[in-house]
Structure 1
């Protein structure tokens, strides 16, 4: 029997899943709610919609059209949020530029994306001036002075606020194919140039809806209209995890902090009673230190932590201060939502059990997850068997733009390959064990660097740790612990190995995990998005790692 299809009325509206429609209900139910920028001003949703129209109009006056790439180089701001909507709503493609990359890589991403108009904060004028000669495709640059005085740079066509004020708020946004590309950005890899990923309107709308679905936050509260939202993940990175779209769709009060300055973040939190944020562990550490210094009460602040593993020690410290911490897992290629921690039934109120639960996450709605071997054979969901995590969902990037070979590798077998080693238990909880490139193979045994880091982090005097594989003539590879030590602490191999030996005796880790060497550093190197840079650690310590202190 052939498939049956509905026969819509002649005048039935064929509703496209485009970003424009994320604004619809907010303008009806929250038109007087406010979007705040630092201590510089705030705008109602009604005013925000007008500014979105003005931005589209000024871009059109500069020659923007459907399909054109428009790049933004700004801190987290109301302007960035305006671009999140205005650029894709007019059918153009928003490129969120990673401003922390070296200048040659910034130039590479702009050229690769074929950016033609740039919106640039004054902090990045020197960077733009340096790379503009290598950007023949750029037709116009709009300067964002952000309240500062001074002459515009010679390369600017005008200033953002002045051009916006002169533009019409009534841009004629139209419907178009929901499968049109809405955004693009570049994810930094371990080798070579950054890889471009892109997302369509349909993908971003479905991702927004899934992020908002009440599928079991760790504290049982979720993310709601009543919350006050402040992003602490850069808006250039995976759409700030997609949360600004959720917050705007819900009509929430939003607070944009600009450049992340610890004392400013504390002031904004206290003044506006921020209830929800998201960040990497490094930013959480910074917040806790700033709260201690300023006396800021952070109790009741719900923070989703991702990007890298949330250590039990950091989690416990945040909880002692009254924070509600939720671990999440995702990737640039996944938009980023894949899974979020959920407290197991029957363990509510048990601090140790709840903290332990944050190391396992459950898939979001519409996520299909498997663990597979090298031949794509399914492995059992027994919580013990390790395999590569592969995924399907309607919002996963379909390719690396302009890199067919990498795209085929990403989607080998029709499933997105995460390059993460994981287990899945009978209840569907996913536990990330390690990155494929970070697993340590020693004496025929596999050691998960994440598990070893969690153990070493509990040793007396350790502030932070990264564990990497180092070549070894006898064993193939051996683990090296690179640690940041509390001032005044005397660290020894015996101290570091104490929790490892306890785990060995309990049978939770192989005896080959016992450390023979470690290195003390002032701080762990980070990537442009705040993750620990293990590639750089391996390169730095390749020649000088020795038994004992390296």
Structure 2
């Protein structure tokens, strides 16, 4: 095909999509808006702009050059927000380190990413000290302290963050460079093997920011946000850039509140005291807040929260709505920057009753602008959008990681046939909503038939006594696999509910024709502690490892 290419004027400027340009608008529109870190720091956007320049000046004085990699180990803070901008704006790479990794995983990611400098919160020093003798590329370590002091440590520090930034020159000219320059990297922990590194360019982060902005602001729905919202993340900033939301909320010039360590009482206090209206988190964090005794004294009406990372059950959704929380689902992966879909209600659904809306709020959602998403069969052919025919979810957008760091074979597997393969099984209905029915590795095959662990979790979550549930397939001599459920009961029901009660509740869905009889869990473990991953998701790998024996 022959197309007509534009020949630019010789003196025309090719404007690159760079993270630094996301700061232009808020510094004009909202220079006096606040950024808050717990009860420790409070400053305006003018100060944010100044401190970003000071941080860049400080890092340059420490020897940082374009192409170097700067690792950050911190709680959600104003410091992290400054790093989100200053490091990539210098042409360096920001490595957001998962602070919940094991020591072996940590040193692997530090060396694999070839970190040059590490900025570390003093609370994580014991972890870093345990691996410091195995650094391969690290040249300097800078400590982050809310107290502004350098703690005793076996690590030799180049200084304390706040002191170094405060003393730095507040002038720095951020250069132009190719928009495809790597901006960030981080590591995703899979079910097997070592963590895999993903990476994103300036262009991808800028386009993701605008795509998410369109998805959350341009369409009439229950979920609209604007510059008038007060934002507080409850997803770690090391996890896929806190879903990219700090970039978006900075672009909008909204008030931002960073809570540090996630503690229920602190989160609720900040929500009320700072009048937070918009957040995002995994289901376990929302469940932690809803079950906190402190919630009884808090008015949460008008608080919009996106749930991601794991499926939003109808039970949790109804509990949250009962507290006035405007809860809905978002979907994506570490490899997708991350947001692909949002469960926005279409205008004709806004007048629906709660039960009808819950059905939509708990779906995986509609693709946001610039996301091409399909469900395909084993041969890669799209299946019918009838809400019934399942297949693997594959996607294309401008902001997908182009591969795994130093891992060509895994990268090719991720990008088979030119589509990014999510490893999720789902269906798309006639309204265009995606619903993830399971992970490929979590589907339960019993008696030759497939059962969705997510569907069983959703059903069990609706029992009035259930606080949290996880379902996995366990080896069974007769059936190949059978479902097993781990159930955490609400405090007032503990000791009053039996395994049989849960099974009988599941049978009511068998009678309605929603699940087959063999979908009722053959084993139910009550009030066990459900293991979680480093980012708060249910760890089905660990459950299978513990309960992998036969049910018979």
Under TM normalisation by the shorter chain, which class is it?
Answer: over 0.9
Q: Deviations over 1:471-507 (max 9, x none)?
A: 1111111111111123434333431223322222222
Alignment map for 1:390-469 (pairs within 5 Å):
390-469=394-473
Alignment map for 1:10-409 (pairs within 5 Å):
10-147=10-147, 149=149, 151=151, 153=153, 154-214=155-215, 219-290=221-292, 292-293=294-295, 295-349=297-351, 350-360=353-363, 361-409=365-413
Identify which of 532, 535, 543 aligns with 1:529: 535
Count how many residue pairs are aligned between Structure 1 and Structure 2: 546
Over 3 Å counting, the alpha-carbon distance change for 1:167 and 1:395 in structure 2 is same
TM-score (norm: length of structure 1): 0.96
Alpha-carbon contact 2:317-2:327 (below 8 Å) kept: yes
**CA distance in 2: counterparts of 1:246 and 1:462, whole angstroms:** 36
TM-superposed CA distance for 1:293, in Å, is: 4.8
Alpha-carbon contact 1:266-1:291 (below 8 Å) kept: no
**CA distance in 2: counterparts of 1:190 and 1:524, whole angstroms:** 16
Tell me the residue number matched to 1:476: 480
TM-superposed CA distance for 1:136, in Å, is: 2.3
Over 3 Å counting, the alpha-carbon distance change for 1:502 and 1:294 in structure 2 is closer
**CA distance in 1: counterparts of 2:397 and 2:228, whole angstroms:** 29
TM-superposed CA distance for 1:5, in Å, is: 3.0
Alpha-carbon contact 1:419-1:436 (below 8 Å) kept: yes
Alpha-carbon contact 2:342-2:367 (below 8 Å) kept: yes
**CA distance in 2: counterparts of 1:64 and 1:81, whole angstroms:** 19
TM-superposed CA distance for 1:294, in Å, is: 6.2
Alpha-carbon contact 2:289-2:295 (below 8 Å) kept: no
Q: Deviations over 1:433-467 (max 9, x none)?
A: 00000000111111000001111222353221111
Alpha-carbon contact 2:230-2:276 (below 8 Å) kept: yes
Q: Deviations over 1:133-189 (max 9, x none)?
A: 101210010111212545453410111111111211211211000001000000010
Alpha-carbon contact 1:459-1:498 (below 8 Å) kept: no
Alpha-carbon contact 2:281-2:308 (below 8 Å) kept: yes
Alpha-carbon contact 2:122-2:151 (below 8 Å) kept: no
**CA distance in 2: counterparts of 1:317 and 1:124, whole angstroms:** 35
**CA distance in 1: counterparts of 2:251 and 2:293, whole angstroms:** 30
* 506-515 vs 359-368, which moves further: 506-515
**CA distance in 1: counterparts of 2:429 and 2:2, whole angstroms:** 39
Alpha-carbon contact 1:344-1:357 (below 8 Å) kept: no
**CA distance in 2: counterparts of 1:296 and 1:528, whole angstroms:** 29
**CA distance in 2: counterparts of 1:110 and 1:227, whole angstroms:** 36
**CA distance in 1: counterparts of 2:348 and 2:171, whole angstroms:** 54
TM-score (norm: length of structure 2): 0.96
TM-superposed CA distance for 1:521, in Å, is: 3.6
**CA distance in 2: counterparts of 1:145 and 1:453, whole angstroms:** 41
**CA distance in 2: counterparts of 1:234 and 1:344, whole angstroms:** 30
Helix, strand or coil: the match of 1:158?
coil
Tell me the residue number matched to 1:539: 545
* 458-467 vs 47-56, which moves further: 458-467
Identify which of 490, 494, 506 aligns with 1:500: 506
* 6-15 vs 453-462, which moves further: 6-15
| Cα RMSD, aligned residues only | 1.7
* 529-538 vs 294-303, which moves further: 294-303
TM-superposed CA distance for 1:221, in Å, is: 4.3
TM-superposed CA distance for 1:343, in Å, is: 2.0
Alpha-carbon contact 1:445-1:510 (below 8 Å) kept: no
Over 3 Å counting, the alpha-carbon distance change for 1:489 and 1:459 in structure 2 is farther
**CA distance in 1: counterparts of 2:145 and 2:373, whole angstroms:** 45
**CA distance in 1: counterparts of 2:12 and 2:56, whole angstroms:** 28
Helix, strand or coil: the match of 2:291?
helix
Over 3 Å counting, the alpha-carbon distance change for 1:163 and 1:100 in structure 2 is same
Alpha-carbon contact 2:499-2:525 (below 8 Å) kept: no
